[in-house]
Amino acid sequence: MSISSDARDRPLPNAPDLTALAQQLESENSRDRLRALVSLRNLEPEQAVPLILKVIDDDNLQIRSMAVFALGLKHTEDCFPILAKILETENDYGIRADAAGAMGYLQDNRAVEPLLRAFYEDTEWLVRFSAAVSLGNLGDGRAYDALMQALDSEETMLHQAAIAALGEVGDVRCVDRILRFVQSDDWLTRQRLAEALGNLKSEKSLSALNYLSKDAHPQVAVAAEYALKAYNL
């Protein structure tokens, strides 16, 4: 059956109206802008990014936060320099943390250097936490020293981020250091340790996983058992 040119040119029933979304993003009503920003999740990155940039400096902090993080999820070549600038110059630490988190989704190893600077130089632990998580997402060995340093932080959430990230980096040199968390009072830290050890195969890791598989917290035990299965493949 042939399709007429008129039918081919007609937009699909569920296709978003880009002009309407652009106008909604310029609305004086923050709820309209927020709804439009949420609607961008259905667009291809090339369509979404120019629209996201309309609200990247929005007066509403929630909208700005969503827009910054959306640049990581809907990334194009334009997103890295924008996020790097936000991470370096933004006054609000929550937005800097959003930028650091978004950079981990870019799968662009140019992000390693600005993330390392943020980790070493930013005074807010939330930004350092987001940077550590993203360094893990990128899995680049250049992050190893920074992540090892995070193990000595006083922030439990930084321990969790660093342990998870070290598992992603996959450098078994870290095993001796992270095993000190096998008896951490924080069950989520123990869970992150079990997950990381699944990617850090060694005799010490195997022994620790057998220990963690009997952990009193069910989520820790399940994570350890799952990691042990990887050893038996």
* Interval 43-58: pLDDT, tens: 999 999 999 999 999 9
Which residues have a Cβ under 8 Å from the Cβ of 231 and sit 6 or more positions away?
198, 201, 206, 209
Q: What percent of the chain has pLDDT over 90?
A: 82
| Equal fold, 16-76 vs 79-169 | yes
Q: What is the dihedral of CA 161, 166, 167, 168, to 10 degrees?
A: 90
pLDDT above 80 (res 11): no
Domain ranges of the chain: 16-76, 79-169, 181-233
pLDDT above 70 (res 10): no
Distances (CA, A) of 30 to 88, 103, 197: 27, 26, 45
Higher pLDDT, 218 or 17: 218
Is the pTM for the entire model greater than 0.85?
no
Q: Which CATH superfamily is domain 79-169 in?
A: Leucine-rich Repeat Variant (1.25.10.10)
pLDDT above 70 (res 12): no
Q: Give the pLDDT of residue 230.
A: 82
DSSP, collapsed to helix, strand or coil, labels residue 42 as helix
Q: What is the mean pLDDT of the chain?
A: 91
CATH topology of domain 16-76: Leucine-rich Repeat Variant (1.25.10)
Q: How many CB atoms lie within 10 A of CB 148?
A: 16
